[in-house]
Structure 1
Amino acid sequence: MNISKDDIQEYLATGGKVIGDFAVRVYGNSINPVGEGAFSDAVEIGISNTIASLYDVNIEDGEIVRGLNKYWGINSEEAEERLLFEKSQLVIRELRHYLKLQGYSSDESTEFIKNNKESVKIRHDKELWKLRDKPERLMKAVQDKK
């Protein structure tokens, strides 16, 4: 299935509206602190999932930033920061997934990543991000990096 730019823009446009409409239906005019926190968490998850999914299907960074600004109301600087964070997190998730498929338990993969400081290395070395689709090479590169 091919995803077009128009499909993504439609998804973004409806996603923000759906979340907002849902909050109004559920909480009405009396949003309490717990409900407000839950709503904020849901919005943050929606934004993170939007960024991760767009990056994962290779939408250009500028288009992602523009979409976040237009559909989520996030200014360009914050959108860029969120995009950078999600890029590194996607690489870390890909490495965890690869370890799991290699037979590592969740605890073992967490221990492996912690012992090798892989999360830190991935967050600080943008070159490693390019290996997200090559998890075997990513694992080796992270282990070799001092």
Structure 2
Amino acid sequence: MKHDHYSSAYICEILRTVHTIAVVGASANVSRPSYGVMGFLLGKGYHVIPVNPGHAGKQILGQTVYAHLADIPEAIDMVDVFRPASQLHAVVDEVLALRPLPAVLWGQFAVRDDAAAARAEAAGLRVVMDRCPSTEFAQLTLRAS
């Protein structure tokens, strides 16, 4: 898939069908974008799981933080990545080791690595890069399902 443009239908279906979202690179700092996005997603009814080894065992927005995706004791529908683009390939390695596999890999603004995306897509994941789910949600005026 080319990742220069996504149809509204593609984004809508993702945002309507995922329920559990792991946020890799979650921050407890209220001024960080990941904190705001987590709060937005929680407010829309998603189950959000923060992932950050530096905060493991603590809470962000009332949610327990895990060090790694593999530490999360439940299935994940979507992995939302707040890490530099250069680290996306390592995140994809972690994602592809999960069972069951998440349905979606989402890279936040400036998080784009076409080779990593191709690996995820080859394994059956839908991929969105260089986008923010809260921004897309607002632009598409979706309602929590």
In the superposition, the TM-score normalised over structure 2's length comes to 0.30
User: Does 1 or 2 have the higher relative contact order (CA < 8 Å, sep 6+)?
Assistant: 2
Larger Rg: 1
Q: Which has the higher helix share?
A: 1
In the superposition, the TM-score normalised over structure 1's length comes to 0.30
Q: Which has the higher strand share?
A: 2
